Amino acid sequence: MKQQKKLFLLVISLVISLLANTIAIAGAGRTGAQILNLGGGTRAASLGDAFSAIGGDVTSIFWNPSGLSKLKETQTILSYTDYKELFGDASEGLYYALFAGASHIEDIGTVGISLQVQGQGTIQVTADSPEVLREENLGTNWALTLSYADQLSEGLSAGVSGKIIRQKLAQYGGRAYAIDFGIQYDFPHTPVPVRVAAAVQNWGTRIKFKDENQSDPLPRIFRSGTAMTLLDIGYHKLQFVADLTAEIDKLREDDEKGVTAFLDQNPDMTRRQLMSERGVGLNAFEWRHLHKSLGVEYSLGKLIFLRVGYKREPGINLPGFSDHLTYGLGFRVYFGQLDYAQIPGGGPYNKRLNVVALKFIF
């Protein structure tokens, strides 16, 4: 029965992946549903978002669903981020909230659910004069995810998620559907415990608002990462994690006319060079286009957690080394855990953002 269940997981994952490939449309230079890029959980945030190889944490739903397979209890998490500290009163109503829960079911696997909600704030509506006629709420975006993960064999685990994404744009609303698929593998005979991981996320339909001409692709990404346990003696544990993330929303350049016109105006550039510059297709895996994340976590008796990370994103030129640093800590008391992280937030004054989450472990 156990082997049949594992085979069933593999078949379902492959079928969903194939179906997703048939409905996926190449990206067109920008993506919608940015709520899917807002991350999940303060633990990942403080580790520079290097989380694809982490296991046994409910927030694996947001990074690599296969990490849920190592969960042996029930976990839930609540998190809320207010962006007023970045933009002041101009950011009234801008927030990001998430809820996630996962539970291990004996002889079945681990199931999880998450809900992400993004408030888009308000705008002041004026006419021909600066007098404000009214304030208009831009609405909320949300994403609902259902996940399943299990051990397929010794050392190998896999997970799959299905998503419904709802985005508001002015008076229009768009909906999209997507899947995530991920694997993790633990090397059994290494001097230092090592786990490697890979995940494809947000593979699905476009968000269509009025018609196909007013639609955006999802921010599809490929994650790969590793986690190494450098120390695990008594009450002390030290873990190093690293991730590389590629944006694969542009499988091909479908603006053929625009490409031709651009090349005509720039005769010194070849099509291959242009595709490389834009990160189209396999060019997305070039080093300059990859998101790089590193993190270190120290835990004392599973009661106190200290974390630090480093994150560098292509196209975002922050002024100093410290602007790429993330850090945080956590405290666990009985079945409750409070996690805090401080991360680069951006905004007009390049302020840092404080993120807090409350986790319950049963």
C-alpha to C-alpha distance for 135 and 111, rounded to whole angstroms: 42
Q: How many CB atoms lie within 10 A of CB 206?
A: 21
Q: What is the pLDDT of residue 295?
A: 98
Residue 291's φ and ψ, nearest 5 degrees, are -85, 130
Apex CA 342: angle with CA 341 and CA 344, to 5°?
135
Q: What is the pLDDT of residue 132?
A: 61
Q: What is the pLDDT of residue 89?
A: 64
In this predicted model, what pLDDT tens digit does every residue of 133-168 receive, in sequence order? 566 777 899 999 999 999 999 899 999 999 999 998
Q: What is the pLDDT of residue 173?
A: 83
Q: What is the pLDDT of residue 129?
A: 59
99 strand-pairing partners: 78, 115
Q: What is the pLDDT of residue 204?
A: 93
Low-confidence stretches of the chain (pLDDT < 50) are 1, 4, 7-8, 11, 13-29
Q: What is the pLDDT of residue 323?
A: 85
Q: In the chain, where do the E strands start and end?
A: 74-82, 94-105, 109-120, 122-126, 132-137, 140-153, 156-169, 172-187, 194-204, 207-208, 215-216, 221-233, 236-247, 291-300, 304-312, 325-333, 336-346, 351-361
Task: Delimit the domains of the chain by residue range.
Answer: 2-122+133-361
- Identify the DSSP state of 174: E
In this predicted model, what pLDDT tens digit does every residue of 249-263 receive, in sequence order? 887 776 555 777 788
* Domain 2-122+133-361 belongs in CATH node 2.60.40: no
Q: What is the pLDDT of residue 74?
A: 96
Q: What is the pLDDT of residue 127?
A: 61
